[in-house]
Homo-oligomer: A and B are copies of this chain.
Amino acid sequence: MSGNTFGRIFRLTTFGESHGPALGGVVDGCPAGIPLTEAMIQVELDRRKPGGSPTSTTRKEPDLVRLLSGVFEGRTTGTPIGFLIENTCQRSKDYDVLKDVFRPGHGDMTYQAKYGIRDHLGGGRSSARETVSRVAGGAVAQELLAASGIRVAASCVELGGIAVADVDHDGAVARPFFAAADAVVPAWEARVREVMAAGDSLGGVVEVVATGVPAGLGEPVFDKLDARLAGALMGVGAVKGVEIGAGFAAARLTGSHNNDPLVPPGAALATNNAGGILGGISCGWPIVVRAAVKPIPSIAISQSTIDTGGAPAAITVGGRHDRSAIPRIVPVLKAMVLLTLADFLLLQRRMSGQP
Contact = CB atoms under 8 A, between A and B. Distances in A.
Contacts of A273: 294
Interface residues of A, number: 158
Contacts of A233: 230
A215 B9 CA distance: 20
A232 B78 CA distance: 22
Interface in A194-249: 195, 198, 200-205, 215-224, 226-235, 237, 239-248
A5 B20 contact: no
A226 B216 contact: no
Given A147-B354, A294-B258, A350-B347, A248 B253 contact: no
A4 B28 CA distance: 7
Interface in A28-49: 28-29, 31-34
Number of copies: 4
A281 to B, nearest CB: 4
A265 interface: yes
B256 A303 contact: yes
Interface in A82-138: 82, 84, 102, 104-111, 113-119, 124-126, 130
A260 interface: yes
Contacts of A200: 254-256
Residue of A237, A259, A303 contacting most chain B CB atoms (<10 Å): A259
A293 interface: yes
A5 B348 contact: no
A305 interface: yes
B84 A84 contact: yes
B292 A243 contact: yes
Given A14-B80, A16-B68, A33 B2 contact: no
Contact of A346 (B158, B218, B255, B350): B350
Contact of A299 (B216, B255, B274): B255
Contacts of A305: 261-262
A65 interface: no
Contacts of A220: 3-4, 79, 107, 125-126
B24 A68 contact: yes
A31 B216 CA distance: 13
B251 A240 contact: yes
Given A1-B11, A6-B222, 16 more contacts: A5-B222, A15-B69, A15-B70, A16-B80, A22-B68, A77-B115, A77-B125, A107-B280, A107-B281, A109-B278, A231-B231, A234-B244, A255-B295, A262-B306, A263-B304, A265-B310
15 contacts: A3-B220, A3-B222, A13-B28, A20-B69, A21-B68, A23-B68, A23-B82, A69-B125, A77-B124, A203-B250, A205-B248, A226-B234, A234-B244, A259-B297, A263-B304
